[in-house]
Amino acid sequence: MYRFLADRREALFAEDGPFARMRDLPLRFIYRHTKIYTAVMNTYLVPNYLRDGMDTSIQVDVLCRPLLHAELEPLLQADIPLFGASADSTALRIDEKQSLAGFFAEPGFDLLRDRFAKLSDRDMELQVSYIRSASNRSTTAKLRKFQRAKNCWRK
């Protein structure tokens, strides 16, 4: 598949190519890992913190980062904050009325095109080595777990 894509990168990015249609696609952007949002919600949804708005606010203050205000409203509604962007823009869309211009260093579509431009035999070897390494770690971990279980039964 890697070589297939590398051999066809010009056609893929041509004006009438399949990637051209992706240029202005809307994208979802989740600022933080969902586990973080879930942990914050699980903390402030405890009845002790729901009695007083100040206590709830203190629990949510864990997110004191650039998007706090935009994240706050969905979180207080027990929802995961979700933002948007366009593949050809550096702006982050907060909601239908607000956006942060220049939030991303480069448009996602440009990153995709740059990544395809760098496809090479050397890069393919590197990617394959990552896959093999991950596979070996997974296999090794499974073997260790099996050995521990086997040793437990012997006792």
Q: Helix, strand or coil for residue 27?
A: strand
Phi-psi region of 30 (alpha: psi -120 to 50; beta: other; left: phi over 0): beta
Instruction: Note whether 92 and 83 are within 8 A (CB).
Output: yes
pLDDT, greater one: 119 or 33: 119
> Which one, of 64, 70, 65, 63, lies nearest residue 84 by Cα?
70
User: What distance lies between CA 155 and its chain's CA centroid?
Assistant: 44
Each residue's pLDDT tens digit, 94-110: 888 888 899 899 999 99
Phi-psi region of 29 (alpha: psi -120 to 50; beta: other; left: phi over 0): beta
pTM: 0.61
Positive or negative torsion for Cα 119, 124, 125, 127:
positive
Q: Catalogue the E-assigned strands of the chain.
A: 26-29, 83-86, 92-93, 99-100
Domain locations in the chain as residue ranges:
2-119, 120-155
Each residue's pLDDT tens digit, 101-136: 998 999 999 999 999 999 999 999 999 999 888 877
Q: Helix, strand or coil for residue 34?
A: helix
pLDDT, greater one: 38 or 113: 113
